[in-house]
Homo-oligomer: A and B are copies of this chain.
Amino acid sequence: MSNVIPGGWVQFLDKMGDDLDVVNSARISFSKKHEVIKKGDAELIDFLLRNRHGTPFEMVEFMFQVRCPLTVAREWFRHRIASYNEVSGRYVKQQNDNYIPEISAVRIQTGKPGNYHYEPMEDLDKANRLIDKMVSAYEFSYETYEELLTEGMAKELARNVLCQGMFTEFRFKVNARALMNFLSLRNAPNAMFEIQQYAKKMEEYFKAVLPLTHAAFIKHGRVAP
């Protein structure tokens, strides 16, 4: 379990396959197979990535467990070529657990919609004050939630008052091709800071499992094949 933001983490649960599976899946086109990674295999992977032959990369699968704020999860679940199971706010009483950014992550935006730039808030006292405001809203919302539950309101309705900074938890299963798509979009300078932190950590796991594939991914501009 690796913390990536305060209260948020990624856990690598399992994987199936490695660079050799990519190579052998591609080589099946030529009716060939290697028992171990050999000379030429890195070049083949490089060739596949450069020419957008994506299917051999689907042969490797990853499973993660993730704890992140809803604002992050909402972006995450837009990635449809993946499998998800998530804590249900209909069945489980949500915990009083919301995302409180580090002071260095309190940021302002400049520029135009679609092309924002983000900079840290220089006035740290002010940043601290804004964090306190966030916490107050979280507290007010959660207290209301608890009151509504105490009064008997169904959880699925009462959760409307909870904040979008609330942490949720889910399993995320994804193949290496779709994971590269995720990394190219989310471990990118214009992605939201928080989802970037998750994507950075996942890219470490990706690199550890598929070092040759990762090298080719970097070399060819971080574009998913």
Closest CB of chain B to A89's CB: distance in Å?
Answer: 7
A80–B28 CA distance with the chains assembled, in angstroms: 20
C-alpha spacing A105/B78, complex, angstroms: 29
- Residue interface mask A158-198, B partner, CB < 8 A = 1: 01111111100111010100000000010000001100000
Task: Give A120-162 as 1s and 0s: 1 = Cβ < 8 Å from B's Cβ atoms.
Answer: 0100001001100110111011001101100111111101111
Q: Any chain B CB within 8 A of the CB of A118?
A: yes
Chain B residue with Cβ nearest A140: B140
**A80 shortest CB reach to chain B, Å:** 4
The CA-CA distance from A28 to B170 in the complex, in Å, is: 7
Q: Which partner residue on chain B sits nearest A33 by CB separation?
A: B65
- Integer count of this chain's copies in the complex: 4
A113 within 8 A of B: yes
* Cα–Cα distance between A154 and B16 once the two chains are bound (Å): 37
**What total of chain A residues lie within 8 Å of the partner, measured CB to CB?**
88
Closest to A148 in B: B130
Contact of A80 among B69, B80, B87, B130 (CB under 8 A): B80
Q: Is the CB of B63 within 8 A of A29?
A: no
A200 within 8 A of B: no
> Does residue A107 face the partner (Cβ distance < 8 Å to B)?
yes
- B153 contacts A107, C-beta separation under 8 Å: yes
Asked if B71 and A89 sit within 8 Å, CB to CB, the answer is yes
Instruction: Select which of B47, B144, B164 is within 8 A of A134 by beta carbon.
Output: B144
Q: Which residues of B contact A175 (CB under 8 A)?
A: 83, 173
When distances are taken between beta carbons in the complex, the residues of chain B under 8 Å from A217 are none
Residues of B within 8 A of A88 (CB): 29-30
**A114 to B85 CA separation, bound complex (whole angstroms):** 15
Q: Could you say which residues of chain B place their CB within 8 Å of the CB of A17?
A: 14, 63
Could you list some 13 contacts between A and B, CB below 8 A?
Answer: A16-B61, A16-B63, A28-B171, A29-B114, A61-B61, A90-B192, A91-B113, A106-B153, A109-B154, A129-B151, A133-B148, A134-B161, A141-B141
